[in-house]
Amino acid sequence: MLTNNRFKNSILVTKTIMIKRVLLLLVLLHYSITQAQIEQRLTYTTVFQELESKKSLIKIGNEKAVLEYQQLILKADSLLKTELFSVTHKTGIPPSGDKHDYMSIGPYWWPNPETDDGLPYIRKDGEINPEARNNYTDFVENDNFLRAIKDLSNAYYLSDNISYAHKALELIKVWFLDEDTKMNPHLNYAQSIPGKNDGRCFGIIEFGEVIDVVKFLELAKDRNLLDKKTEDGMFHWLTDYSNWLQNSKLGIEESTRKNNHGTHYDVQLLNILLYLKRLEDVKTHLSTITKSRIFSQIEPDGSQPLELKRTKSFSYSVMNLHGFLKLARLGQKVDVDLWDTISKDGRSIKKGYQFMVPFLTDEKKWEYKQIIDKTTAEEKLISDLNYISTYLKDSSFDAVIEQLNQ
């Protein structure tokens, strides 16, 4: 009898140990899956933290956040009824004869008044030729498409209305994947100069907001809305396009630009590479090429000589700093600290913002050429200062923000 009890107790102890082990394994498995999900999100181009912050402000009734949300939903609702976008809609024909090739004209180039046919076009820096902004080229269609993806993506995240996500997916398939309407993965004919060339490296910046497409793909994947065919198709398209950026004549040329074009080339390429999970390539580029750009473009006093030479010097100075800020945020995701990177003689992204602040607070008067109103650029600069405080956890500009809010 005693032997039987001991045997039963032994079985009970064994079962208890086995149950505990199974439970421990389940906990560890859950933890591993959760950690993997967290790590995956950390290497997304999408910053879910920023979207969640906006969503929280809306929920608590923040007046500004609610107003912006209402305006966003109005735009998103309108987009649900919009026609589809495609490079094949343009009336012009690219030099290749293939309407699937993106085509645009350099915005600051105008007909030559001294020749009968207006060729070759001549440059007027900062003055946009209306010919570069009509349906003869792809610029307007591309701009409208990328804006639509951004608005629909944000509207979906903030409202959880799946209709916005479905519309964004439809637009993406038409622009990139459908045989009859897709865009070929290159920009060989972007920003051409009539009478001079068929395309230039400077046209690459026109496609910079493709990052919003990448962000939406990540969001759709995170929410189990991205079907395998679309995911594979976009992975293939973005791989081909990133190869063109890195290896084509125009792509290589743009990568060597010394001003905002080089900065925004990095923003575009590295976000795509991050989506393609080429993390080591992203790290290496940020640690070498991007770091070098910061030190070569920003002086020890924070000025940006190549942007100050432009006819919209304030606007371009802010635009370039905004690109560097995006790269600093990207660097955080792959453990490359660009925000606190500083040269021996004091060059840094932060120093660039410090240079601009006195002109924002009217302590100094902007003496450089600025042929357009700088209100939009000032708003972007203020937004960047808030971003630095909130997401880079740097309070250096908090007093300025408080002053501007009074």
pLDDT in tens, 199-258: 999 999 999 999 999 999 999 999 999 999 999 999 999 999 999 999 999 999 999 999
Enumerate residues 6+ apart whose C-beta is below 8 A from 274.
Answer: 43, 44, 45, 282, 330, 333, 334
Whether residue 263 is predicted with pLDDT greater than 70 in this model: the reply is yes
Tell me what percent of the residues of the chain surpass a pLDDT of 90. 87
Residue 223 near residue 138 (C-beta atoms within 8 A)? no
What is the predicted pLDDT for the residue at 247? 98
Residue 33 confidence (pLDDT): 46
- List the one residue out of 170, 206, 210, 175 whose CA is nearest residue 191: 206
Quick one: which of 184, 169, 195 has its CA closest to 138?
A: 184
Taking CA atoms, 113 is separated from 110, 120, 194, 195, in Å, by 9, 10, 14, 13
- Segment 185-192 shows an average pLDDT of 98
**Could you state, in order of their start, the residue ranges of all structural domains in the chain?**
49-256, 297-406
Number of H helices, E strands in the chain: 16, 4
Rounded average pLDDT over 105-128: 97
Residue 173, SS3 per DSSP: helix
- The mean-pLDDT minimum among 13-17, 105-109, 221-225, 346-350 falls in 13-17
- Taking only the tens place, the pLDDT of each residue in 5-51 is 555 555 555 666 666 665 666 655 554 544 444 455 556 766 678 88
Query: 49-256 architecture in CATH?
Result: Alpha/alpha barrel (1.50)
pTM of the shown model? 0.89
Confidence of residue 165 (pLDDT cuts 50, 70, 90): very high
